[in-house]
Structure 1
Amino acid sequence: MSSSVPLEFQSPENIGSSEELARAEVYGLLAELFFAPPSQDLFDQLRVAVTEAPMAGAFLERSWGELVGASRRLSLSAVEAEYVALFGGVGKPAVCVFASWYLAGALNQQPLVQVRRTLELLGLERPQGVLETEDHIASLCEVMRYLIAGDDLSVSNLAAQQRFFNSHLRAWVDGLCDALSAQAQANFYRAVADFARDFFAVEAQGFDLLEV
């Protein structure tokens, strides 16, 4: 990924890639933000990002502007502390980021088994050194990014994207976003949740219209 800033909100002279690549970049950005606090480089990109899409009223403009605005108001150290308060700590975190929690009420349940079966069929596996299970929202977003931007068209295609999104993301991502938005300590990540909710809604609408 050449940039973590979605193509729709880069300067017009930098826009030359397809809508599909833009989608992949959004999934990559969400994966980064949910997996860990933003790196200094990513945070710097967000703070200087264009907040108006090249075409008025374009996709995600409002929630993207709020995310960029939050990155400009807050320091990176504040965002790092917020991430720990929301997703870290000892015991159950304030906000859980695993599909099993929302779909089955506990961690490491059938939704995780189903994700692992799908990844096996796709020829994918959890990287060594990664402790989070495969139903982590960041992991699922990374798989979607691969299914959009991967070179193997027998795997990376619209039909595979639709199946994976509908099977492993669609039913629970709004619950995650709602849980984040409800947290009093959420500031930067409330903006992330709003952006993610809008993006996933557009994805769902697009897949509903898709005939594959």
Structure 2
Amino acid sequence: MGIDRKDLVDSARSRSDIYGLLSTVFRREPSQDLIKRMRSDSLLGTFTGLGVELGERFYNDRESEVVEELAIEYARLFIGPGQHISAHESIFNEADGEMGGLWGVKTVEVKKFIQATGLEYGKNFTGLPDHISVELEFMQKLTEWEADKWLQEDRESAEQCQLVQHKFLEQHLLCWVNSFCDAVLDQAEIPFYRVMAELTKQYMEFERQSIATDTAA
């Protein structure tokens, strides 16, 4: 018995939503709009289903206070000026047996991979292609495409899109994101980023198992 087309569309859209949320969380200091969105009933239900607990203060403190606290924590964790976590694949993923630096071999590989799909960076983008938020956003776009292809009953294109996702996960995200998240878990001082790092790890494991299941099918 085949999987219902609606289920395939819904699954791809759900994955896209999760990738989009995680990308936004790690892209920059949280905005007030993001805090409102994360406090919404729809995401609260999603978080509850995933076993995510952001803590009473996240939901009960004034939004402006939450934004300020998280902005300070984001800067301390990912920007500096002191010791901080570089959220780039080239820092965590080995290339030719050696750890790289910014604009390393992995950065170039990710840049070429993304461009090969026809996606382009925004005109105002000044970051590096292998930042975690960029890689997660790339997966968000791929899963959006997949959902659209299932909706159009274009099975061949949808399955091709899945193969591209699998390849990018296996060659990039799954190779380094756990190490990045472990660094966040070790250095975060307030619950929010620890919880987001743990959620990201859990979701990467879900994706890893999904690939194994698809390969075995």
The question of a shared fold, defined as TM-score above 0.5 by the shorter chain, is answered with yes
Change (3 A) 1:162 1:194: same
Asked if the contact 1:20–1:149 (Cα under 8 Å) also holds between the matched residues in 2, the reply is yes
**Between 179-188 and 31-40, the greater mean CA deviation after superposition:** 179-188
**Aligned residue identity for 2:14:** A
Match of 1:84 among 75, 94, 104: 75
Q: Which has the higher contact order (CA 8 A, sep 6+)?
A: 2
- 1:27 corresponding residue in structure 2: 19
Distance in 2, matches of 1:144 and 1:116, equals: 14
- Which residue does the alignment assign to 2:122? 127
Q: Cα gap change, 1:85/1:162 in structure 2, threshold over 3 Å: closer, same or farther?
A: same
Partner of 1:6: none
Residue pair 1:70, 1:188 contacting (<8 A) in 2 also? no
* 1:206 counterpart letter in structure 2: S
The CA deviation at 1:137 is: 0.5
State the AA in 2 paired with 1:31: S
Q: Structure 2 stretches of 5 or more lacking a match?
A: 1-8, 94-98
* 2:206 maps to 1:196: no
Instruction: Output the TM-score relative to the length of structure 1.
Output: 0.79
Specify the code of the residue in structure 1 equivalent to 2:187: Q
Q: Which amino acid aligns with 1:108?
A: W
| Residue 84 of structure 2: aligned partner | 94
* Distance of aligned partners of 1:206 and 1:169 in 2 relative to their CA distance in 1, 3 Å threshold: same
Structure 1 stretches (4+) deviating beyond 6 angstroms? Answer: none
Give the unaligned 5+ runs of structure 1: 1-16
Larger Rg: 2
- Which one has the bigger helix percentage? 2
How far 1:143 sits from its partner (Å)? 0.7
Mapped to 2, the partners of 1:144 and 1:184 lie a distance apart of 25
The TM-score, its normalising length taken from structure 2, stands at 0.78
RMSD of aligned alpha carbons: 2.5
1:18 aligns with 2:10: yes
Number of aligned residues:
189
Q: CA deviation at 1:106?
A: 1.7
